[in-house]
Structure 1
Amino acid sequence: MTDTSWSLPDDIDAVRDALVAWYEDDHRSFPWRETDDPYAILVSEVMSQQTQLGRVVAAWEAFLDRWPTANDLADADRSDVVGFWTSHSLGYNNRAKYLHEAAKQVTTEYDGEFPETPDELQNLQGVGPYTANAVASFAFNNGNAVVDTNVKRVLYRAFDVPDDDAAFEEAASELMPGGESRVWNNAVMELGGVACEKTPACETAGCPWREWCHAYEIGDFTAPDVPTQPKFDGSRRQFRGRVISILKEYEKLPLSKLGPRVRVDYGGDHGKEWLRELCSDLEDDGLVELESADGDENGECVARLRR
C-alpha cells in the first residue's frame, strides 16, 4: 500500500519554475544534451550505466565517429563493437551486444526509425524501463518522470516523500510539468547530481528548492542511500536552515529577536554582526529580505522570508 502521509508544496508552479530556471541558467555540459538524435542518446545511456559521465564523453564521441547511425552500427561486425567496448572499459560486454542488436531491430523492424514512447522503446534488445524513458524524454520529449537513485534522494529530502517506490513514482509524476519531460528530467537529475548529492551542496550549488526543502529546514540530510547523517551540528548550513524555519513562523522578526531563536549562545562572536552576515547571505540567495524597522532610530534590522 502506498504511503499517503506526504504532500507536495501548494505553490507547485513556483517549485517547477525555480528548478527549470536554475537548470537553464547553468548546468553541466555533456554533448548528448545537445542533440535529440535517439540513437546518440541511446548510446550515451547504455555507456553511462557503469561508467562515470566524464569518462563517457570521449568514448561516446569515438563510438559515434566510427558508427554514426543505427544503420552503421547494425552493419558492423559484432566483434568490433565488443572490442571497442572492452578497449574503453565500458563495463559488461553484453551491453555492447544488446546495443548492436537494438540497432539491427531499428533498421529491420522499424524501417530505420526509432520508436518514440517508453513502452515501444522497451521492445529493443537490452532497453529496460529507465533507458526507454530516458530516450523517450531526451529525444522525443515524450517520456514519463524519471525516478532514479538521485531523484529519490531529492524527493525524500525536499518533500519528505517516504522510501517507497510507489510514493516516489507518484511524487515525481505530479511534479513534472505536462509535455516537458526533456527539460524536467534533465533538471531534476542535475539537481541530484550536483546540489543534492550524498553530501549536499545546498549553498555552493545554489539549490533552487531550499525554500521548500524539508531537509534544509530541519538539518537532517539522511536519505535512502545516505543512512549516516553527514556532519551538520554547528555548521553554517544548520543556522541558515534555522533562520528559514523560524521566519516561516513569523511575518518578520528584528534581528535582536531572531538571534536568540537561531542559537542559544547568541551574542559575542556570534551576535548581531554574525547574524546580519548570515541573513545577508540568505538575501543574496533570494531567500530572505532585510529592511530597516520603521521609525527605529537605532537602525534595527528586520528579516522576513522572501515570498
Structure 2
Amino acid sequence: MSDAPSELPADLDREAVQSALTEWYEADHRDFPWRRTDDPYEILVSEVMSQQTQLGRVVEAWEAFLDEWPTTADLAAADRADVVGFWTNHRLGYNNRAKYLHEAARQVEEDHGGEFPRTPDGLSELMGVGPYTANAVASFAFNNGDAVVDTNVKRVLHRAFAVPDDDVAFEAAASELMPDGESRVWNNAIMELGGVACGKTPTCDESGCPWRRFCHAYETGDFTAPDVPTQPSFEGSRRQFRGRVVRVLGEYDELGLSELGPRVRVDYGGDTGAEWLRGLVDDLESDGLVDVAEGDDGVRVSLAK
C-alpha cells in the first residue's frame, strides 16, 4: 500500500463498498459472451473490437471472427487482406486495428510459442496493445491485472467519492478500492456500474446502484463528472425526493407516512401518495438510511441509528 495520502473519504468503509459492488455484479449483469471465457485470445479480440464500437454490435462480429479464426494460430496464418476485409465489412472502425490484431497473433505464435504473456507489461509488448487493453486482458483472462481506469470508472469515482478530476488521483483511488487478487470480477463490476447505473444520465434507483448509500453525488444531487460538464436533470427526480425524506427526518425523531408525505412534496396524494412514499422509504431502508416500523397507528419512519 502506498504511503501517499488517500484520494478516498477518510471514513469510507472500503470492505462494505467492495462487497456491495461485487454482490450487485454477481447477482445480475449484462451477459456478453466474452464474459463467459478466460481465453486471452478471445478476450483480446473483444477488447480490440469494443474500442469506440457499441457492444451490442460487437457480439455478432466477435462470434463471426472467432468462427473464421478460432485461435491465434489460425489468425496468424490468415491473409492480412482477409482480416482487414472482415473488419471493413463489419464496420468495426479503423482498419489499423485489424492489422495490429493480426500482427499480435503472429507475435504470440512466433515469439511466445503460442502462449499469451500473463502480465500487463508483457501483453503491452504485443502490436497495438496499449496499457488499457493489456490490463483488461491480464484481468479478465488471468485475474492478474491492475485496477482499470477508463472514462466510466473516472465518472463513477468522481461522483461516488468526490475523487478530483486528475489522472493520478483516479489511478490511486481505483487501486486502493480494488480487492487484492480480484481484478477479473472487480474490473468487470466497476465498468458495469459505469455503463449501467452511472452513465452520463444516472439511473441510480432504477438500476439499484449498490453504492447509493456511500455516494457523494447521490447525497448532494450534483451528478456532474469529467465527461458530464452539464448537470443532468435533478428537479423532480426520485433522487431529489429521497434526499428530501432524509432531510425532513433529520428534523424529527419519527414521522408517520401521512405526516412525512406533505413535508416531502407539496402535491402529496394520488399517484404520489402513500403507496409512492412507501416505495421511497422502503428503498431508503434497503440502503440502510432509514428505519421503517409497523405499529398500531400505521407505518413510522425515522433515520437509521
Query: What's the TM-score once normalised by structure 1's chain length?
Result: 0.89
User: Which residue matches 2:44?
Assistant: 42
Identity %: 68
Cα distance change on mapping 1:7 and 1:277 into 2, 3 Å: closer
Deviation at 1:234, TM superposition (A): 2.6
Cα distance change on mapping 1:23 and 1:301 into 2, 3 Å: same
Deviation at 1:230, TM superposition (A): 1.1
Deviation at 1:282, TM superposition (A): 2.7
- Code of the residue aligned with 2:198 in structure 1: it is C
User: Which residue matches 2:166?
Assistant: 164
- Code of the residue aligned with 2:9 in structure 1: it is S
**How much is the aligned-residue C-alpha RMSD, in angstroms?**
2.6
User: Contact 1:217 / 1:244 at 8 angstroms: preserved in 2?
Assistant: no
Cα distance change on mapping 1:5 and 1:27 into 2, 3 Å: closer
User: Which residue matches 1:291?
Assistant: 293
User: Which residue matches 2:138?
Assistant: 136
Cα distance change on mapping 1:8 and 1:94 into 2, 3 Å: farther
1:223-266 deviation per Cα after TM superposition (whole angstroms, max 9, x unaligned): 1111111111232221113434666x68x831269849964x65
- Code of the residue aligned with 1:230 in structure 2: it is P
Query: What's the TM-score once normalised by structure 2's chain length?
Result: 0.89
Instruction: Give the distance between the partners of 1:262 and 1:136, measured in 2 at CA.
Output: 52
Instruction: Give the distance between the partners of 2:282 and 2:17, measured in 1 at CA.
Output: 23
User: Which residue matches 2:27?
Assistant: 25
1:273-297 deviation per Cα after TM superposition (whole angstroms, max 9, x unaligned): 364442134335665330157xxx7
- Code of the residue aligned with 1:173 in structure 2: it is S
User: Contact 1:211 / 1:244 at 8 angstroms: preserved in 2?
Assistant: no
1:129-185 deviation per Cα after TM superposition (whole angstroms, max 9, x unaligned): 000000000000000000000000000000010101011000000000000000000
Determine helix, strand or coil for the equivalent of 2:301: strand
User: Contact 2:256 / 2:298 at 8 angstroms: preserved in 1?
Assistant: no
Cα distance change on mapping 1:24 and 1:287 into 2, 3 Å: farther
User: Contact 1:121 / 1:132 at 8 angstroms: preserved in 2?
Assistant: yes
Unpaired segments ≥5 residues, structure 2: none
User: Which residue matches 1:63?
Assistant: 65
- Code of the residue aligned with 2:161 in structure 1: it is F
Instruction: Give the distance between the partners of 2:71 and 2:148, measured in 1 at CA.
Output: 26
Instruction: Give the distance between the partners of 1:199 and 1:261, measured in 2 at CA.
Output: 28
Instruction: Give the distance between the partners of 1:99 and 1:227, measured in 2 at CA.
Output: 35
Cα distance change on mapping 1:39 and 1:245 into 2, 3 Å: farther
Determine helix, strand or coil for the equivalent of 2:213: coil
User: Contact 2:212 / 2:287 at 8 angstroms: preserved in 1?
Assistant: no
- Code of the residue aligned with 1:302 in structure 2: it is V
Determine helix, strand or coil for the equivalent of 2:229: coil
Unpaired segments ≥5 residues, structure 1: none
